[in-house]
């Protein structure tokens, strides 16, 4: 599919998946599931309410001490804390990358499509949305981790196909869009 309508449909599916991922972040309630910035090549700047990665140890020590205190009182230990923190961090970073992708599609790619249509692969965006919906039904555990990995891979595929579609056009107006997509892909690959 080519043209603005195809891109708008693709973005709509990605936004549906992104909204689901954001709701997942909120439902986890952990500070590590707050919107983390996508990794950049620069310093580690974090905006308000954004988690940093790797998590600082002082955030983990109270949870570990609480678990030890719970065991001392005969309460069951809460297992998987570090795994949960890692999953939340990956989720936050996937959300950040997906947000940047949608912004780039809306601000950079949509205007280019009016200049010259290029292929947009709607199927991948539908798959991303469906994976996110399935992930929301899992909440945590091994299947959640697999779905998160699949969402990551699906975003990678979407970005790579968009870069390939733009590479067919030598116009200088496509250079900023390709550069932006390459940066988003690079950020995704560091997750």
Which range, 2-6, 40-44, 51-55, 110-114, has the best average confidence (pLDDT)?
110-114
Any domain includes 38: no
Any domain includes 44: no
**Higher pLDDT residue, 142 or 94?**
94
Rounded alpha-carbon distances, angstroms, from residue 20 to 16, 23, 131 = 6, 5, 10
Any domain includes 19: yes
28-51 pLDDT, tens digit per residue, is 755 546 554 433 333 333 333 333
Per-residue pLDDT for 103 more than 60?
yes
Any domain includes 64: no
* CB-CB neighbours of 146 under 10 Å: 14
Rounded alpha-carbon distances, angstroms, from residue 13 to 20, 159, 176 = 11, 15, 24
Per-residue pLDDT for 154 more than 80?
yes
- In our burial notation (b when 16+ CB lie closer than 10 A, e otherwise), range 20-46 reads bbbebbeebebebbbbbbbbeeeeeee
Confidence category of residue 1, pLDDT binned at 50, 70, 90: low
Continuous segment of H or E residues that includes residue 76: none
Bond preceding residue 14 cis, omega within 30 of 0: no
Ramachandran angles phi, psi of 129, nearest 5°: -60, -45
What is the Cα–Cα distance from 156 to 153, expressed in whole angstroms? 5
Q: Which residue range(s) make up the domain with 102?
A: 4-32+80-189
156-185 pLDDT, tens digit per residue, is 999 999 999 998 877 888 899 999 999 999
Any domain includes 61: no
Any domain includes 145: yes
Total number of domains constituting the chain? 1
Confidence category of residue 188, pLDDT binned at 50, 70, 90: very high
Q: What whole-number percentage of the chain has pLDDT above 90?
A: 48
Per-residue confidence (pLDDT) for residue 68, from 0 to 100: 45
Any domain includes 135: yes
Q: What pTM value is reported for the model?
A: 0.73
Any domain includes 92: yes
């Amino acid at each position: 599919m080519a043209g603005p309508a195809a891109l708008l449909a693709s973005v709509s599916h990605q936004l549906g998946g992104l909204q689901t991922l954001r709701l997942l972040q909120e439902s986890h309630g952990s500070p590590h599931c707050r919107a983390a910035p996508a990794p950049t090549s620069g310093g580690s700047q974090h905006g308000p309410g954004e988690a940093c990665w790797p998590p600082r140890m002082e955030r983990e020590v109270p949870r570990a001490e609480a678990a030890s205190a719970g065991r001392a009182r005969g309460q069951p230990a809460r297992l998987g804390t570090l795994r949960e923190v890692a999953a939340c961090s990956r989720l936050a970073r996937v959300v950040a990358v997906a947000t940047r992708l949608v912004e780039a599609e809306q601000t950079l790619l949509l205007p280019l499509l009016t200049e010259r249509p290029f292929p947009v692969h709607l199927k991948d965006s539908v798959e991303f949305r469906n994976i996110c919906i399935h992930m929301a039904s899992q909440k945590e555990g091994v299947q959640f981790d697999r779905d998160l990995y699949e969402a990551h891979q699906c975003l990678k595929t979407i970005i790579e196909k968009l870069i390939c579609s733009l590479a067919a056009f030598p116009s200088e107006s496509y250079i900023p869009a390709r550069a932006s997509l390459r940066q988003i892909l690079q950020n995704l690959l560091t997750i």
